[in-house]
Structure 1
């Protein structure tokens, strides 16, 4: 008996599909590209901005999940309101009022992580060619989202305290009228990647400048509760109430990913009503609603008072881990790396001395089973090749010490 085989047709290449312009040659996340090394035995990662797996409130979340399902299983399993479950929106409004923000449940839009909120905002505000400002260095996923939206991305100068508002004002004056920016994206508290916190005076100056120039000021605040030293600074959306009309130009993003667990995928947005209405319409075509089971779990967790207890635990741990990393680097590589110590958050921003290239050092570091993110990932146009970001949140104190030792070996080899 004989059989015949028909040869499979040749695989189609990218050119065979009529991709939209942003996806003809898309750039993936440079940080996500490193995660293929995370599972390597013995790897110590200072790369991803992951909360520590050892610090999750597993019991508290389990109790909240059980209570939510027992109380109303249908609410957990059925489709929900696109804007978010009313009960969770009320709990998040209470959380925001504790941060000094005037709002009620109707002001809160629940999203599937705060990154979805930013994506929805771009869908409502940014057309290809529109100008958007970003602090630089900046959160890479924000840069990536703006690129895929076709924005003309203009970096804004920062220093050790965040955005230089005086320089920004001069920069805006120099922009041609056709390039008037629609929004400015910033992480003003424990910035990703620099760890910098914008002082109150600069926040107030930035609020007034954005309102006067009619630029939507995007305040991304995933790390604000993770302060372990220094004096707390109110969110810009809280300070804006002192300036008539300024609140109309601020969009605030919050998240439970860094302070509870990213697996819940709970973020929220507070935006001016005309923007929020359009974001809800955009969300209807995105995921219909954020997972109701996650929403109900988050609501029970917040209402139980567990967050306040959990924050005390993780803030203390992150303080110890940050100090351990800084001390270890000062011990093992005192002259090879210059550091900026943060007052909270998850990140240390650093520069290699002697003009060394962080990407080249990373190759040696991976051989030593330690990882970080080269600074080039955080720049829009001209990167600082000597810069790098180290996340101290996930490694233990012992791992931070050993990781610093391995990094020093890599530095010596490079």
Structure 2
């Protein structure tokens, strides 16, 4: 008699796969115009500059590039990343940073270092979907904090801290995924003050901050935390995926020394270190090229694409629909009229070779079935106009 197969870990069975990834699989056909993915525009990658950086690294120091490296990350890349954060208003030393295999790994490491099964995590509603998966795999209990069109409500955060006794608050305060909202400076300061008063960890995720089309940059929560006395409980996650290329899988974690040491140990257990050749090439690229000039070109194209999407939505969505106008990032958040279900409508929409992401999976609590996320960066304005015509037919 054959013995029963041992079961999988309970935490794996309790966390669903990403609906966004499932939708991307369904819409992988070249004829589909997809507003579903959060993918940077590949034609805007600086392929020549990145290729030249890899060639120089492999020509000049091939043995180092192809060898194991330290867990903390390449010193040159950490120095360049620290200088960039400092120039943007957050004084940072290279020793404050850990290079990670994408910012998603940084979030996973923080969850591993801070969370025990049953710990409470506060999140925005709606929330970045992969963060919900990450906290679920850590065995945490996720509690949504209400907000409004301006993002998290600091008073609601403090009330949730008193009621739920959470370990941490996770937020994407700038051009949030999925809503595109940006939290204002006053609210960021207030959240830092809540963290100082209540002993709350704040994990701030910033993959989109350098994709601003208009308006003035807002300081990080981490910057306000210094003045509020919460610098010892504030972590900042960032990424090169949206500003260089996601295929490099390069992210970074800025955190207080005790948390950074714990995440370093967790990373050793996960993958030893981020690929050496990718780190050296990124450092070389930053030394040899003007990333800000490249980003100016990217932002100009993305703004034009955002404007094309916004201009076409009145004709594409049913009368009574609502949407926002993000000042940057990659996403527009929309809501169909009451009574509509964006998940059910997608089945018909996909038959017209166009797609979006329903908003429901982004809610850790009771979802709003009318909501949907539209990404505007992957297609040209002409393609966006065509896609919106298809969307109108699908929703009609």
Aligned residue runs from structure 1 range 259-338, under 5 A:
259-333=243-317, 335-338=319-322
Equivalent position of 1:3 in the other structure: none
The 3-state SS of whatever aligns with 1:19 is: coil
Counterpart of 1:28 in structure 2 is 17
Deviation at 1:124, TM superposition (A): 1.0
Measured after TM superposition, the shift of residue 216 of structure 1 is 0.8
Which residue number in structure 2 is paired with residue 51 of structure 1? 40
CA distance in 2 between counterparts of 1:239 and 1:302 reads 28
Three-state SS of the structure 1 residue aligned to 2:270 is coil
Does residue 147 of the first structure (1) align with residue 136 of the second (2)?
Answer: yes
Distance in 1, matches of 2:98 and 2:243, equals 19
- Cα distance in 2, alignment partners of residues 158 and 394 from structure 1: 29
Deviation at 1:98, TM superposition (A): 1.4
Residue 374 (structure 1) aligned with residue 363 (structure 2)? no
- Cα deviations across residues 81-114 of structure 1 (Å, max 9, x unaligned)? 1000111110110111111111111111000001
| Alignment correspondent of 1:255 | 239
Contact between 2:36 and 2:357, CA under 8 Å: does it hold in 1? yes
Q: Where does the alignment leave 5 or more consecutive residues of structure 2 unmatched?
A: none
Output the CA distance in 1 between the equivalents of 2:335 and 2:359. Answer: 9
C-alpha distance after superposition, 1:137-193 (max 9, x if no partner): 0000000111111101100112111101122222333x1xxx411110000000000
Measure how far apart 1:128 and its partner are: 0.9
Distance 2:314 2:322 in 1: 9
Q: CA deviation at 1:344?
A: 0.1
Which residues of structure 1 form unaligned runs of 5+?
A: 1-8
Residue of 196, 199, 203 corresponding to 1:211: 196
Residue 246 (structure 1) aligns with: 230
SS in 2 for 1:354: coil
The C-alpha deviation readout for 1:228-287, integer Å capped at 9, x for no partner, is: 0112111121232222x3111110001000111000100000011000001000100110
**Greater C-alpha Rg:** 1
Once residues 293 and 309 of structure 1 are traced to their aligned partners in structure 2, the CA distance between those partners, rounded to angstroms, is: 24
Q: CA deviation at 1:334?
A: 6.3
What is the root-mean-square deviation in Å for CA atoms of aligned residues? Answer: 1.5
Tell me the secondary structure at the aligned position of residue 382 of structure 1. coil
The 1:352–1:334 alpha-carbon spacing in structure 2 relative to 1, beyond 3 Å, is closer
Kept in 2: contact 1:99–1:235 (CA 8 A): no
CA distance, structure 2, for counterparts of residue 345 and residue 284 of structure 1: 32
TM-score normalised to structure 1 length: 0.93
Does the 8 A contact of 1:137 with 1:194 survive in 2? yes
Distance, in Å, in 1 between the alignment partners of 2:210 and 2:15 is 34
- Aligned residue among 168, 177, 181 for 2:166: 181
Q: Distance in 2 between matches of 1:265 and 1:408?
A: 36
Q: Which residue of 2 aligns with 1:132?
A: 121
Note if contact 2:337-2:370 (Cα within 8 Å) is conserved in structure 1: yes
Shift of 1:355: 2.1
Aligned residues: 396
Contact 1:329/1:405 (<8 A) preserved? no
